Amino acid sequence: MSQRLKLEVKALNAIAGGDLVILVSDKLAPPKAAEDWIGTGAHALVARAASAERFKGKALSGLTLLAPDGAGYERLILVGTGPAAERDKLDFAALGGAIAGRLGHGRSAEVIAALPESELSAAEIAEIGLGLRLRSYIFDRYKTKSRDKDQSEPKSVTLRVDDPAAVKKALKAREAIAYGVELARDLVNEPPNVLFPEEFAERAGKLEKLGVEVEILDEKELKKIGMRALLGVGQGSHRESCVVVMRWNGGAKGDKPVAFVGKGVTFDTGGISIKPAGGMEDMKGDMAGAACVTGLMQALAARKAKVNAIGVIGLVENMPDGKAQRPGDIVTSLSGQTIEIINTDAEGRLVLADVLWYTQDRFKPVFMVNLATLTGAILVALAQENAGLFSNSDELAERLAAAGKATGETVWRMPLGAAYDKMIDSKFADMKNSAGRHGGSITAAQFLQRHVNDTPWAHLDIAGTGMGSPNSETNRSWGSGWGVRLLDRLVADHYES
């Protein structure tokens, strides 16, 4: 359950208790806007404490001091922004997260949103607000006895700025993005006995309140359409598979949509090719790609993005029983191509194969980006620092890389090629769903590419970033909501009218 931070924006006027947060550079001098706020004794106190604690104002570092007597606030918190010469490298969302990390649960704080050597734009201050929101997220829905009472109370933070109206306008769009990220995190964090395909689809259906058109295709409809590859994955589960189509029509009528496709395996045992028991509980997060697409559609709708966007998610549960798919089976995908099943744990690509083909055939999008916790091999290649990026379009790949740098959700482009494609040829069918360990993330991407036709397409392998990712300034949750900010930025920078 996400904790809703009470975030306000006000002009630079009187403060009333709580914590006072100021931003300092490597020179440790406070901004001029903070001079009248920190009190006459605070300057000397800061100098002594910074020397004793070896605080140098490094970007995102912090120093907390008890306020001098009569200051009007309880604690003075300094947060570093680094040298002024390196200000263009400063991640303002991460700065907001660093501020949130210095505040205690249940405390109120006043943040003087000003820099010592330069001015902050409304957009930069709004990014600080976004970081504050994202860092404050907590999923504690299933805690009863151990829940800390203070944690049930959201922090109250007031951003003090020169132009409240401009900041509020910029912050409104960032809050829409925050809600999208929080939705994605909630979905990934939910246990698999709660979030199965039908329940996921029902939650996606709630986006209709924001103006998103939601269509749910059940197993009967999927059989009629011919999504045999997707249905084969879920046939060992008593939970029925489904596909959810979400449409946001914010652009001009008749404009081609942009399309996002997500893998939604709500739990992955590996099927007959069953996974080892150790760590299998993490496979509740094998739907992080679908979670991102759902969160993105919420963000686009909530900020009323001027674009036509399609989000399509394939929702299945991969279980072993007497009806489960076997290694050696051959299935016919929606594209008409046949697939030999080598490993039932290479299931995500089967889901995406049908959904990608369906999306390009029905909607004729400008591009398709799919997200999936697809391969352990991408963790071997990139660890948890970057998502793997595969694409048939240099332009789309470059735009995704730029959006990644801007948001901190970074990607690293991986190769595709005929030699890798040959590795998935089958003796008995058009292709096989696994080519073994070598180049595992690449051959998985080659498999997907056979189902996109000529549509500009990118595949993001988020096995290392979508769940269980390392803590960052903006995330302390197991489910990271990775990709919502990246793709929203891609749309905002290049595809909105």
Give φ, ψ of 403 to 5 degrees: -65, -35
Q: Which whole number is the average pLDDT over 460-481?
A: 95
Q: What pLDDT, on the 0 to 100 scale, is given for residue 148?
A: 56
pLDDT for 205 beyond 80: yes
Mean pLDDT of 351-356: 98
Q: Is 244 a residue whose pLDDT tops 60?
A: yes
**Looking at 8-12, 176-180, 208-212, 285-289, which range is the least confident one?**
8-12
290-312 per-position pLDDT tens digit: 999 999 999 999 999 999 999 99
Q: How high is the pLDDT of residue 14?
A: 75
Helix (H, G, I), strand (E, B) or coil at 243: strand
H/E segment holding residue 384: none
CA distance 30 to 51: 16
411 bridge partner residues = 387
Portion of the chain with pLDDT greater than 90, in percent: 84
pLDDT at 1: 46
Q: How far is CA 422 from CA 163, 415, 426, 448, 455, in A?
A: 59, 14, 9, 13, 21
Could you give the C-alpha distances from 425 to 49, 132, 415, 447, in angstroms and in order? Answer: 66, 49, 18, 10
**Best-predicted range by mean pLDDT (30-39, 346-355, 467-476):** 346-355
Q: Kindly report which listed range (109-118, 194-203, 296-305, 323-332) carries the lowest average pLDDT score.
A: 109-118
> In this predicted model, what pLDDT tens digit does every residue of 138-191 receive, in sequence order?
999 999 876 555 554 557 999 999 999 999 999 999 999 999 999 999 999 999
Residue with tokens 């994955």: 233
Instruction: In whole angstroms, give the CA distance from residue 344 to residue 236.
Output: 11
Cα 473 to chain centroid distance, Å, stands at: 14
pLDDT at 41: 72
Quote the pLDDT of residue 438. Answer: 97
Rounded alpha-carbon distances, angstroms, from residue 143 to 147, 151, 177, 394, 479: 6, 12, 27, 46, 17
Higher pLDDT: 145 or 52? It is: 52
| Residue 151: predicted pLDDT | 53
**What's the rounded mean pLDDT across residues 78-87?**
93
Mean pLDDT of the chain: 94
pLDDT at 154: 54
pLDDT for 147: 57
The residues, any chain, with a CB within 8 Å of residue 37's CB and separated by 6 or more, are 15, 20, 22, 112
Nearest alpha carbon to residue 451 among 428, 424, 415: 424
β-bridge mates for residue 109, sequence order:
19, 157
What are the pLDDT digits (tens) for 13-50? 877 778 999 999 999 888 888 887 887 777 788 888 89
The tokens of 491 are what?
A: 């749309």
Active site residues: 275, 349
The pLDDT of residue 47:
87
Q: Edge-to-edge strands of the sheet including 108-112?
A: 6-11, 156-161, 108-112, 19-24, 75-80, 62-66
Q: Is the pLDDT of residue 8 over 80?
A: yes
Residue 70 carries which DSSP code?
A: T
Q: What gap in Å lies between CA 56 and CA 67, rounded to an integer?
A: 20
Least Cα distance to 188 among 272, 260, 295, 116 occurs for: 295
For residue 271, how many C-alpha atoms fall within 13 Å in the half-sphere facing its CB?
Answer: 23
pLDDT of residue 69: 81
pLDDT at 3: 56
- Does 245 have pLDDT greater than 60? yes
Tell me the pLDDT tens digit for each residue of 92-147. 999 999 999 999 777 889 999 999 888 899 999 999 999 999 999 999 999 987 65
- The string of pLDDT tens digits covering residues 427-450 is 999 999 999 999 999 999 999 999
Q: Is the pLDDT of residue 259 over 80?
A: yes
The token duo for 149 is: 């009472």
Give the distance from CA 253 to its chain's centroid.
29
